[in-house]
Homo-oligomer: A and B are copies of this chain.
Amino acid sequence: MNMSGEPSALSRKVLIVEDHPIVSDSLFRLINETFDDTICIHAATGAKGLSYLNGNRFDIVLLDINLPDMTGIEFASQARSRFPGIRILVVTSMAQRHIIELAVKAGVMGFVLKTSDVKDITEGIRQVAEGNSYFGQGVKELMTGHSVSGTSEPLITRRESEILKLISEGHTNQEIAEKLFISSSTVDSHRKNLLIKFNAKNTAALIKTAISRGII
């Protein structure tokens, strides 16, 4: 579908969405040293990045996960829904499995870590620029590290996650029951199931693992 626009081996437009000037500078130089005829635009926030995408056609986006105004995941979702052909390479220090999964789900084509050496990052840019997917040093291992249940987290149900959120906000079973117009016994049941599903001994461990898995 997006194959209508020619990839044009020379002359690429790259958007760098990254809030650390010291990193975007590095990416900028990296790209100019590696590729000919490249135009780089830098956006320090997700909002600015999206507005740049609105005005111009970009070949690829280099995207950080920690942005001041949104997460890279949100940026990727919005960018991909508005511009389905856009190719996104995540360049981040977040070496967490669920983040990679969320990013892939949001439609990114590649994922490299800032702890990787620069060759790995340029290779990622090259591959994604050519329409391939690329997962850099350490990323593939994180992904293949035994998937819990297929594509992971339909582990908990809608209701359970709703209750989990309320628990994390400090509400008791009674309060949650009133909020959701159900019995506190029911909340208790859900709570027990959450403990089992997360293999948590108590509320403290439940909240901690839930957050570490990005569910809260």
Q: Which of A161-216 contact B (CB under 8 A)?
A: 167-172, 200-208, 211, 216
Chain A's interface size range is 35 or more
Nearest CB in chain B to that of A21: its residue: B117
Number of copies: 2
Q: Which of A14-68 contact B (CB under 8 A)?
A: 19-23, 25-27, 29-30, 44, 66, 68
Would you call A127 an interface residue if the criterion is a C-beta within 8 Å of the partner chain's C-beta atoms? no
Q: Are B21 and A22 in contact (CB under 8 A)?
A: no
Would you call A121 an interface residue if the criterion is a C-beta within 8 Å of the partner chain's C-beta atoms? yes
* CB contact under 8 A between A22 and B23, given known A66-B93, A93-B66, A201-B170: yes
Report B-chain residues with C-beta under 8 Å of the C-beta of A116.
Answer: 21
Q: Which of B44, B68, B205 contacts A168 (CB 8 A)?
A: B205
Nearest CB in chain B to that of A22: its residue: B26
Q: Which of A122-144 contact B (CB under 8 A)?
A: none
Q: Are B20 and A115 in contact (CB under 8 A)?
A: yes
Residues of A within 8 A of B (CB): 19-23, 25-27, 29-30, 44, 66, 68, 91, 93, 114-118, 121, 167-172, 200-208, 211, 216
Nearest 5 Cβ contacts at the A-B interface: A170-B205, A170-B201, A26-B26, A20-B114, A207-B207
Q: List 18 A-B contacts (CB under 8 A).
A: A19-B115, A21-B114, A21-B115, A22-B26, A22-B91, A23-B23, A23-B26, A25-B26, A169-B204, A169-B205, A170-B200, A170-B201, A170-B205, A172-B202, A203-B203, A203-B204, A203-B207, A207-B207
